[in-house]
């Protein structure tokens, strides 16, 4: 079905079809000169997906067409909360070209509901709709135009119910129960020490409330996929997702098919950021394929992405910080009320992560953290880069910056006094290792001091105020408090292609390349002969989703172990074949050295012939992550990443517009596997953080999203990005990571809003506790401040 000429992602093509791209990549990396020491790890090796992407040959779901394919479309709720009185699809079904009209009545009750953590989300709404945009009917037709026309013919009678639109309303005694078990999705808390006593004796107590607006992930590629039945009768789904294995299992539940009759393959993906981890088109598309026995393609429109896929949680964080005059923070108390929207999605994970991260990256003796997340009739809130921690950091880091001002101390010094270190015991009782947090402060300090002087001395622009602000973070890598192993399996072909099957798909950052670097380094083979298969649920083991900054650390470790196993199995096999002892065989630099005589790797493979099939190298990484979600004791994450970031801003006093000409990001991400890729993550994350800090918000009114599209949603563009983003990776190595690596993807964004808020205070003397920090608010605050002046 797929042809390499069309540039399918590797996972989609056959061996032969993939060969031209593999050869082209090998030619590309042949000329790549690594420095001394390690051959691949630590070097900016070109990405293994770069050739077909820059040549415009990558096939996204939207680009894939199959013979006889139908086009699917949802009919969605037009009310935030309503009873469905009647669904009449007779006119839609009668329209020529309509092949399938699916409603909840077509799906058995015990298969109707799906979900990542809690199965509470109907594939198609039955009896009730709980948010605007909830799918009620799915249609498959010969053309998209017919599907649209049929959608317009569907008649749904609703009986509107007054919606619940804020967590405060949802918590009221007499609030309507949005779900059978009530309106609370999460109610988690943890306390260590005696917070009240510590606050009572603190020299300084700072109290404030911090808020944010819902955010759209704004991946450029809307959700989409194609389902079909392959010649072997396997229900196959090509879909842009962060987690093919989740859909594989989910589809078994939904269709009743045995697992071996299902296959989920990730297409080339145009961004995800946590937004492609829940169910959107997958179940409806596959059910319509099973009904019609024809391929069905479903693509969301941009407006559907904005109005009917998960958003970042809004949180109201009440925060109290107590400290002594010497800068020691003695107490932290935070109470969070979060809007989880219509269905549970990843709300529980977000809540758990918030409680665990309450004090990080600081060592605070008395900590109390509580989060309550409620259902509402807003769009469901779900996973998004940082799982809530960007909002925590906005609150805590802003409080710490306030504390520094209050005490007349440097914001760096206050952080240094309270910083976690190797050996620090966290609020969950975990003893931290490989902590490079202070080094990130050390890296930023001279820049901060230098820029402070430069701004004070530098030429003033009329009408422009300039300022500096910084913020830090500590972030756990991987899922919170549960085991989430990754595996890797390595196979070999007779002509020397090393196939690394890793279970976490590349969602854009280049993780397939990082994994190939690790395999190449450990196995001793040229990276050009490695093909990473990471997005096929039948070729890989379930290794969890690509999320939570976990791929480099978890799958990287698995890949490293598999690479080691590969080297051993290969040597053993060749030894047997050549009748030498395995100790006399080495693989190094893509050569096989047998009794001190070098042999080309492909010649060694040819010598082995069909015996190469006996090689089945395996690596599994399953660190001991456990957390009791009642006592909040345990080791929730195997490692943590740290950072300190510095923003330099310019505030236009007339227009309130904030520009960020310079930004510095110092990160402890352990040993960096691919500096170019890691820098890309940081630069992208910084701009994403600036978007949240300054512009982005989903505007809502009565449960309806008012700016559902890129036209009205203010995503920063290239001209809004800082002119200079300087990335600094501090020297640190985590012995538990692959070649010392940790992870970096989410950390890049977390400190940004707090750093900008601090810079705004430095520049203009105003503090904003609500994101985004909009120009109009800045102008009003500046005017108020002027008015207050004696």
Partner 1 sequence: MSEPQFVRARSVDHAIDTLKAAGGDGLIVAGGVVVSSLFNQRLASPAVLVDISRIKGLRYIKRTPNGLSIGALATHDDIHRSADVKAVAPLLTEIAEDVSCPRLRNRGTLGGSICTIGGQGDPATGLIALGATMQIKGPGGERTAHIEDFYKDAFEVDLAPDEIVERIDVPAPQTGARFAFCKLGPRNAMDFTQITVSVVMAPTGSGIRIGMNGVANAPNRPRATEALIATMNAGSINWTAVGKTLNGEISPQGDLVYSEDFKRHLALIGLRRAVERALARSKEAGGRA
- Residues in contact with partner 1 by the rule CB under 8 A: 145, 148-149, 152, 654-655, 657, 695, 699, 706-707, 711-712, 714, 716-720, 774-776, 779
Please say which residue, 696 or 734, places its beta carbon nearer to partner 1: 696
Phi and psi torsions of 473, nearest 5°: -160, 155
To partner 1, the closest distance from the beta carbon of 207 in angstroms equals: 30
Give the nearer residue to partner 1 in terms of CB position, either 93 or 707.
707
Q: How far is the CB of 155 from partner 1 (least distance, A)?
A: 17
Q: Closest approach of Cβ 698 to partner 1, in Å?
A: 10
Rank residues 83 and 785 by Cβ distance to partner 1 and give the closer one.
785
CB nearer to partner 1: give 510 or 716: 716
Question: What is the nearest approach in angstroms of partner 1 to the Cβ of residue 303?
Answer: 8
Which residues in 223-254 are b (16+ Cβ under 10 Å) and which e? bbbbbbbeeeeebbbbbbbbbbbbbbebbbeb
Q: Which is nearer to partner 1, 455 or 714 (CB)?
A: 714
CB 556 within 8 A of CB 738: yes
From the CB of 704, what's the least distance to partner 1, in Å?
12
Q: CA-CA distance, 636 to 373, in Å (whole number)?
A: 20
Residues 109, 115, 117, CA angle at the centre, nearest 5°?
A: 125
Cβ contact 277:384 at 8 Å: no
Closer residue to partner 1 (CB): 143 or 614: 143
Element (H, E) at 488: strand 486-492
Q: In what order do the strands lie in the sheet with 184-192?
A: 184-192, 366-375, 329-341, 314-323, 204-211
User: Residue 375 Cβ, how far from partner 1 at the closest point, in Å?
Assistant: 26
The residue whose two tokens read 């923003």 is 647
Q: Least distance to partner 1 from the beta carbon of 660, Å?
A: 11
Output the 3-class SS for 24-64. HHHHHHHCCCCCCCCCCCCCCCCCCCHHHHHCCCCCEHHHC
Enumerate the β-bridge partners of residue 184.
374
Rounded Cα gap, residues 22 and 34, in angstroms: 20
Tell me how far, at minimum, the Cβ of 717 lies from partner 1, in Å.
5
Residue whose CB is less far from partner 1, 153 or 615:
153
* Least distance from partner 1 to the Cβ atom of residue 219, Å: 18
Least separation in angstroms between CB 770 and partner 1: 16
Spatial neighbors of 638 by CB under 8 A, at least 6 apart, are 477, 478, 553, 623, 624, 625, 736
Strands of the sheet with 128-129, listed across from one edge: 128-129, 82-88, 155-160
Q: Is 719 helix (H, G, I), strand (E, B) or coil?
A: helix
CB of 687 to partner 1, least distance (A): 12
Q: Give 85 or 148: the residue with its C-beta nearer to partner 1.
A: 148
Closest CA to 332 of 486, 194, 141: 194
Q: How far apart are CA 495 and CA 609, in angstroms?
A: 9
- Between residues 545 and 691, which has the closer beta carbon with respect to partner 1? 691
By C-beta, is 118 or 775 nearer to partner 1? Answer: 775
CA distance 143 to 242: 28
Minimum distance of partner 1 from residue 715's CB (angstroms) = 8
CB of 315 to partner 1, least distance (A): 22
CA dihedral 284→507→747→429, nearest 10 degrees, is 70
Entry field: residues in the chain: 790
Query: Which H helix or E strand runs over 402?
Result: helix 389-407
Q: Which residue lies nearer to partner 1 by CB, 397 or 774? A: 774
Neighbours of 631 (CB within 10 A): 10
Q: Hunting for tokens 């203009």 — which residue is that?
A: 764
Task: Tell me how far, at minimum, the Cβ of 98 lies from partner 1, in Å.
Answer: 13
Q: Whose Cβ is closer to partner 1: residue 49's or residue 774's?
A: 774
Closer residue to partner 1, CB minimum distance, 581 or 701: 701
**How far apart are alpha carbons 87 and 158 in whole angstroms?**
9
- Give the Cα separation of 765 and 788 in Å (integer): 12
Q: Which is nearer to partner 1, 148 or 483 (CB)?
A: 148
CA-based R_g, the chain, Å: 27
Expressed in angstroms, the distance from the first to the final Cα of the chain is 76
Closest CB 220 distance from partner 1, rounded Å: 14
Burial of 493 (0-12, 13-18, 19+ CB in 10 A): middle
The Cα 174–Cα 152 span in angstroms is: 37
Nearer to partner 1, 636 or 708 (CB): 708
């Amino acid at each position: 079905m797929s042809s390499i000429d069309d540039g399918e992602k590797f996972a989609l093509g056959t061996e032969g079809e993939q060969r031209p791209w593999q050869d082209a990549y090998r030619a590309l990396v042949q000329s790549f000169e690594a420095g001394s020491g390690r051959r691949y790890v630590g070097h900016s090796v070109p990405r293994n997906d770069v050739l077909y992407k820059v040549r415009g040959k990558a096939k996204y779901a939207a680009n894939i067409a199959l013979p006889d394919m139908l086009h699917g479309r949802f009919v969605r709720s037009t009310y935030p909360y309503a009873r469905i009185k009647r669904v009449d699809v007779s006119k839609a079904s009668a329209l020529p070209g309509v092949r399938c009209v699916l409603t909840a009545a077509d799906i058995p009750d015990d298969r109707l509901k799906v979900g990542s953590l809690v199965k509470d989300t109907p594939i198609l709404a039955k009896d009730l709709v709980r948010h605007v945009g909830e799918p009620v009917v799915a249609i498959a037709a010969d053309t998209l135009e017919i599907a649209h026309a049929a959608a317009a013919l569907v008649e749904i009678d609703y009986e509107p119910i007054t919606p619940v639109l804020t967590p405060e309303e949802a918590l009221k005694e007499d609030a309507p129960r949005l779900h059978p078990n009530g309106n609370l999705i999460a109610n988690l808390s943890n306390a260590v020490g005696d917070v009240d006593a510590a606050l009572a004796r603190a020299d300084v107590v700072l109290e404030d409330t911090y808020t944010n607006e819902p955010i759209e992930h704004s991946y450029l590629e809307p959700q989409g996929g194609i389902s079909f039945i392959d010649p072997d009768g396997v229900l196959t789904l090509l879909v842009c997702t962060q987690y093919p294995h989740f859909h594989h299992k989910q589809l078994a539940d939904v269709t009743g098919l045995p697992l071996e009759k299902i296959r989920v393959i990730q297409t080339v993906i145009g961004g995800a950021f946590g937004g492609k981890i829940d169910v959107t088109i997958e179940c409806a598309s596959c059910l319509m394929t099973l009904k019609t026995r024809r391929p069905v393609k479903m693509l969301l429109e941009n407006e559907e992405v904005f109005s009917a896929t998960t958003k970042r949680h809004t949180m109201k964080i009440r925060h109290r910080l107590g400290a002594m005059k010497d800068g020691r923070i003695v107490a932290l108390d935070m109470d969070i009320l979060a809007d989880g929207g219509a269905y549970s999605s990843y709300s529980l994970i977000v809540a758990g992560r918030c409680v665990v991260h309450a004090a990080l990256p600081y060592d605070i003796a008395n900590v109390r953290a509580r989060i309550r997340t409620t259902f509402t009739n807003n769009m469901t809130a779900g996973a998004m880069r940082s799982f809530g921690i960007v909002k925590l950091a906005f609150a805590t880091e802003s409080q710490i910056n306030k504390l520094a001002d209050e005490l007349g101390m440097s914001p760096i010094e206050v952080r240094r006094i309270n910083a976690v270190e190797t050996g620090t015991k966290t609020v969950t009782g975990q003893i931290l290792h490989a902590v490079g947090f202070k080094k990130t402060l050390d890296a930023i300090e001279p820049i901060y001091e230098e820029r402070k002087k430069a701004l004070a001395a530098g030429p003033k622009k009329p009408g422009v105020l300039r300022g500096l602000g910084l913020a830090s973070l500590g972030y756990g890598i991987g899922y919170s408090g549960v085991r989430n192993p990754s595996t890797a399996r390595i196979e070999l072909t007779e002509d020397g292609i090393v196939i690394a099957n890793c279970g976490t798909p590349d969602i854009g950052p280049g993780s397939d390349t990082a994994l190939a670097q690790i395999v190449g380094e450990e196995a001793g083979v040229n990276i050009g002969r490695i093909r990473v298969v990471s997005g096929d649920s039948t070729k890989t083991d379930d290794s969890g989703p690509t999320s939570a900054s976990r791929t480099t650390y978890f799958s990287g470790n698995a890949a490293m172990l598999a690479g080691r196993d590969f080297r051993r199995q290969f040597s053993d096999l060749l030894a047997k074949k050549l009748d030498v002892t395995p100790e006399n065989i080495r693989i190094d630099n893509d050569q096989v050295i047998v009794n001190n005589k070098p042999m080309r790797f492909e010649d060694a493979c040819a010598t082995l012939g069909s015996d190469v099939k006996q090689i089945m190298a395996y690596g599994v990484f399953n660190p001991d992550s456990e957390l009791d979600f009642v006592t909040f004791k345990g080791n929730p994450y195997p490692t943590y990443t740290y950072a300190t970031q510095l923003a330099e801003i310019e505030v236009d006093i007339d227009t309130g517009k904030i520009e960020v000409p310079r930004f510095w990001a110092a990160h402890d991400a352990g040993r960096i596997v691919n500096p170019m890729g890691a820098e890309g993550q940081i630069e992208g994350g910084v701009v994403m953080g600036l978007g949240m800090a300054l512009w982005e918000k989903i505007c809502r009114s009565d449960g309806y999203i008012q700016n559902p599209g890129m036209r009205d949603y203010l995503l920063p563009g290239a001209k809004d990005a800082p002119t200079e983003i300087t990335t600094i990776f501090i020297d640190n190595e985590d012995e538990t990571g692959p070649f010392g690596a940790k992870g970096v993807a989410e950390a890049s964004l977390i400190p940004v809003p707090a750093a900008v808020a601090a810079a705004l205070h430095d520049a203009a003397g105003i503090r904003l506790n609500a994101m985004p920090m909009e120009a109009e608010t800045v102008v009003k605050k500046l005017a108020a401040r002027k008015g207050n002046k004696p």
